[in-house]
Chains A and B, each alone.
Chain A
Amino acid sequence: MLMVLINVLNSYMHSSDHQEEVAPAATPAMQSVHFLYSDHHNWLVGWLRFRLGDATDAADLAHDTFVRLIARPRCFDNSQEARAYLRTIANGLCIDLWRHREIERAWLETLATQPEAYAPSAEEQIAVLQALHEIDGMLHYLPPKAARAFILVMACGMTHQEVARELGVSSRMVGHYITRAMLHCMQLETRNLAQTDAIAP
């Protein structure tokens, strides 16, 4: 896996050499990723292992951290600053990993409480989990009640009045939550699309 990453790094550096006249800033930035990798990779794996208590997870997330850095290269004044930045990215990835596992666990626990007759197929389970991860990612930064109201409306098709009764707020407030949550998701979606467009050649 490490070799793969180094190859990716090299190919990035190589391609930016060719495009020097187009994007002169890319070369030093990519070189700096290369140096960052050799200076801080071992330290980062150690930090992640301490955080996660698992060597495989730590190696995976260290890899993902540097992939993020390749996608958006930046320069640092000193190694302390670089480590603070890497730690911030890695910390975010740790939290994502925990979210992922926690959702999976909650879903399996919920299924376990159901009668035997209710057993979605493996494909269905994957589709549901995938949807849950996506939804969780979209609603992450919303206030808990707004997120809850949005899920009840979108997934369960409940009316504002029904949601209002369940959450103990006014129907008008539910309307406010839904508008806000929908706008939030739409903005996230446009940003994601813009980013994909920017990265794609």
Chain B
Amino acid sequence: MPSHEAMEQAAAWFSLLQSGTATDADRERWQDWLAGTEDNRAAWAFVDRISQRFQPLQTHTSPRLAADALQAAKRRLARRRIILGTVVIAGAGGMLSWAVWQQPGTMDTLIAWGADYRTATGERREIHLADGTQVWLGSASAFNQEYDARLRRLRLYTGEILIQTAADNQHDAGGRPFIVDTAHGRLRALGTRFNVRLDDEGHTQLAVYEGAVQITPTAGIPGTTITAGQQARFTAEHLETPAPADPAREAWSRGILLAQDIPLGEVIAELSRYRHGHIAVAPDVAQLTVLVSYPLDDVDGALAMLQQTLPIQIRRPLPWWTSIEARTQ
């Protein structure tokens, strides 16, 4: 199977070549790309396979008629789905909760659209909750606030939040506990400043800067308490060994990208959270270590600076496509 990277490039090439505005130079560059590696050719074979699926519409009928028939069918099905959707939700609470358990990521992404607080890609927000707790919400993030008589509970659906809890004045007997729930487990704050992040690999990552936070993974495995200066990643079934807390997980709230001896690949993954479009990093430069501190609001500026300090070159073959590779002399 071709690599994901080659498939992404093949799809982008395909889009350019049949756009109606491709030049001879574009076609030559595509030929070079195709001749470049076996991986590229394998990826392009899939473009061919997909194109062939549409062949019968061109040879046996008027393609426009077939396209319109499909459109009409889709429209009717969409109406039907709205009606069905309500029936399914009303009739099968059990099934829905099963689906949530099965696919925490997907469900949470959908729910995030309707969350109480959320940010767009590239946006950061500072939020003051009624009890005095302060929350910084990172790029493309979403959480719900569910306070009741017993608990102060936040549910993080996607992205990253930094929390500075306040003592709860509403209750005399020591105040209500402060809880953050994610798809992977429950975090209970013990008077504190801490960061919670859902990473791309399907973990919850906790970093504690003041006080302590208790982790209880969903699957019922033994939890642990993370104290100030430590961080730990976990899933519902697995808790990783704590490590020293990364200052970058606090710096973002001040709008600063902080990378101290971090591989370039990880730095770019972080920057990608703050900008639309795709940034591809060639494997041979992904391991270069980076020491940088830069405003998160200016991703392109950060990329330009990386280009000055590292042996890399940055190209933009398509408007939404940024490619980082080794600099050729």
Which residues from chain A sit less than 8 Å from chain B, CB to CB?
80-81, 84-85, 87-88, 91, 95, 98-99, 102-103, 105-107, 109-111, 114, 118, 120, 124-125, 127-128, 130-132, 134-136, 138, 144, 147-148, 151-157, 159-162, 171-172, 174-176, 178-180, 182-183, 185-187, 189-190, 193-194
Contact = CB atoms under 8 A, between A and B. Distances in A.
A147 B63 CA distance: 15
B64 A156 contact: yes
Interface string B51-73: 10111111011111111111111
Given A88-B95, A88-B99, A175-B19, A136 B69 contact: no
Interface of B: 1-2, 7-8, 10-12, 14-16, 18-21, 43, 46-47, 49-51, 53-58, 60-74, 76-78, 80-81, 84, 88, 92, 94-95, 98-99, 318-320
Nearest to A172: B319
A106 B72 contact: yes
B8 A155 contact: no
Nearest to A94: B84
B72 A110 contact: yes
B77 A102 contact: yes
A152 to B, nearest CB: 6
Contact of B67 (A80, A144, A151, A172): A151
Given A130-B56, A194-B1, 18 more contacts: A91-B88, A99-B77, A103-B73, A128-B56, A131-B56, A132-B57, A132-B69, A135-B57, A148-B71, A155-B66, A157-B18, A161-B20, A171-B21, A178-B19, A183-B7, A189-B49, A189-B50, A190-B7
B265 to A, nearest CB: 20
Contacts of B56: 127-128, 130-131
